[in-house]
Amino acid sequence: MAHLNTVLGTLHPEEMGITAVHEHILFGPPGWEADPGAWFKMGKVFEKCYNDLMDFKLQGGATFIDASGIGSGRELDVHIKLASATGLHVVASTGFLGELFTAPHFHARDADYFETLFVHELTVGMGRTRVKAGVINAGGGAQPMTRLEAAQHRGAARAARKTGAAVMTHAINALDEQLAIFREEKLDPARIILGGCDTRLDLERDKRVAKAGCYVAYDHVGLESWSRMAHALPDQRRAELVKAMLDAGLGDRLIVSAGSSGWVLGQGEDHLSNVGNVLRYFVPRLAAAGVAEADVRRIFADNPKRVLPIQ
């Protein structure tokens, strides 16, 4: 039976509602805990994350996918507390976001190792807990893909086939290599969410992969400012991309999210994007660009409901 694994237990797809597909509660590369310069007051950060999530909920949000993956800020006790305190359905993920986000212990491993690890996290529990992950990340960005990242992608594809989970990628630069690996591993394109399609623009690419069945995610909504982030883009352009994909009849493959973080470990507050703002500002932009309400519903509720549950 198709279901979502949340940090509080399973969830029926019909309970998902409006879903933020690619977000983070705490996020940052491993190693920050060794540097007291990166430390923070947990109470203060919890409150900030709580406010962000409640804002999302009050804007109509119901489900929140944390894409931090292993060792990159996936603090499960915080997720669990936030889920209970807000009533949102919070999903944590397994997988890695690329070599720099992979702690040394997990280097020098092969695809079989990663497959076993991801399957364990999806079916038994994350780390040593009994809280199951709901989706698999695979990231990177170097061209060509490093050996480690290729092994992680391969392991992710195999784990996805074995468990029925979806794979969410964070490495649009290495798209061709990623898709080649997924094809070799016979992963159904309809189980793949390609993140970061709004960080390196190519509408023809997006159409091509969507026609093949993959989901195209414009998941950096709000990241407009050119200062400090290498892949910023005015939201107006994102709205145009969404409209173009809808006009091409590919609305069933669209995912929109903010890729925001409640707190960036080692950096602090993420002032640039905010999960609630996707519903507050971007949805009206879409409406102004001529996107129908039914299509907004499709992007934020129906598509996530179709792709994310473990099936």
Partner 1 sequence: MKVETLTGPVAPQDLGIVAMREHLLLGRHGWHWAPEVRFDRAAAFESVLARLEAFKKRGGGTLVDASGITLGRNVPFYRRLSELSGVHIVASTGFGEQSSSIPGHFLGRAYRVSTDARQHWVREIPGHFYSSHGESKEYLMFLFYNELTEGMAAPCMIRTGIKAGIVQTGSAWDGVSRLEEFSIRAAAMAARHAGVSVITTSAGQARRHFELLSAEGLEAQRIVIGHCDDARAVDLGRDRSFAEKGAYVAYDHIGWEKDAPHAMADDERVALVKAMVQAGYAERVVLSSSAVGAAMGLPASSHGYERLLADFVPRLDRAGIGEAVLETLLVDTPRRLLAASQDEEAAEQLRAFAEGFRSASRQQRWDV
Partner 2 sequence: MAITVNGPVPDDRLGIVAAHEHLLYGLPGWHDDPAVLFDRPKVFDALLAALREFKAAGGNSLMDASGTLCGRDPEFLKALSAAAGINIIASCGLGAQELIPGYFGLPLAERALREQRRDGEPPLWIPDAGYIGGMLGAEMSDGMPMAGMVRSRACAGFVLCACSAQPASEIEEMAIRGAAMAARRHDVPLRLEGGAHAPRLFPLITAEGLAAGRVVIGHCDDARCLDSARDRELASQGAYVAYDHVGWQDGSPHAMPDAQRVQQVKDMVAAGYAERVLLSCGTVGCGLGVPASKHGVSHLLKDFVPRLSGAGVGDSALHTLLVENPRRLFAQL
Taking the complex as a whole, the smallest distance from the CB of residue 22 to partner 2 amounts, in Å, to 19
Among partner 1, partner 2, none, what does residue 12 contact (CB within 5–8 Å per kind)? partner 1
Please report whether residue 9 would count as binding partner 1 according to CB under 8 A.
Answer: yes
Among 2, 33, 184, 249, binds partner 2 (CB under 8 A): 33
User: Within positions 48 to 87, which residues make up the interface with partner 2, using CB under 8 A?
Assistant: 70-71
Strand partners, 172: none
Q: Which stretch binds partner 2 (CB under 8 A): 205-213, 249-257, 259-267, 286-294?
A: 259-267
Of 21, 30, 89, 217, which one interacts with partner 2 (CB under 8 A)? 30
Query: How far apart, in whole angstroms, are the C-alpha atoms of residue 91 and residue 8?
Result: 9
Q: Please count the residues of this chain forming the interface with partner 1, following the rule CB under 8 A.
A: 14
Q: Does 159 bind partner 2 (CB under 8 A)?
A: no
In three-state secondary structure terms, 171 is coil
Element (H, E) at 25: strand 18-27
Q: Yes or no: say if 4 and 91 are a contact pair by the CB < 8 Å rule.
A: yes
Footprint of partner 1 on 87-106 (CB under 8 A): 87
Integer Cα distance of 195 and 22 in angstroms = 8
For the chain, give the number of residues.
Answer: 311
For residues 265 and 231, give the distance between their C-alpha atoms in angstroms, rounded to a whole number: 20
- Smallest separation (angstroms) from partner 1 to the CB of 8: 8
Tokens for 184, please give them: 């070799």
- Tokens 């145009």 correspond to 240
Q: Per-residue x/- mask for partner 2, residues 216 to 255, rule CB under 8 A?
A: ----------xxxxx-x-----------------------
